[in-house]
Structure 1
Amino acid sequence: MKKLESREDIEHLVNSFYAKVVKDETISFFFNDVAKVDWDKHLPKMYSFWETILFGQMTYKGNPMAVHFPINEMKAMERKHFDQWLELWKLTIEENFVGENADMAIYKSENIAKLMAYKMEMARKI
């Protein structure tokens, strides 16, 4: 196991994570059927997102919350979906990395999942 310390490490993490996501019974349909994700565009955005979150590189430009609202309107993104996303993310980190940045990636993802689940739920109530 190695430390999570470079853009290449983030790319490996993100690629490994989404390999699980696209096969997952609970959340794959959001990516494959609802959002119809263009992986050639999505993956580089996710590399930059996590590079910004973990290393402060400021390579990510965008609003991740805003991107999820239209998907939530098409199909409700519920807490159970974010819980599964988080479970797959943690599993992928634990399979590949150790150290402070790996721990931070888990901590940040927990906060992201909680906030996203809350915001999506509130948006459905409006």
Structure 2
Amino acid sequence: MEFDPKSLTYNEAGLMPAIAQDSESGEVLMMAWMNAEAVAKTLETKRVTYWSRSRQSFWIKGETSGHTQELVDFRYDCDQDCILVLIKQVGAACHTNRRTCFYTAVRDGQTVELMKPMDE
């Protein structure tokens, strides 16, 4: 059965969360938003494309930073309202130049920074 990006369940803004996970390590790297067109572009080009809510435009991960995401596998959940992209990440996934956006933890009631920015 051929996949249609419009068959997924988007929110009232036409978006759905997309979680990027390293295809080899399983590490969760980031979360961003996709609309049906971003889904289509990602599947067509194999370069992960998101929708920027602040800029109201598409952004291909790594287009300006060089920290690219190559699509390995595209999945969605049972409710068809959340995307999981398994990727090959080159460089940092986070705009703070860290490997992952999930670098802060709460442990024993304290905020703990788990990693420093990557060296350029």
Larger relative CO (CA 8 A, sep 6+): 1 or 2? 1
TM-score scaled by length of structure 1: 0.28
* TM-score, length of structure 2 as denominator length: 0.29
Greater percentage in strand? 2
Which structure shows the bigger proportion of residues in helix conformation?
1
Larger radius of gyration: 2
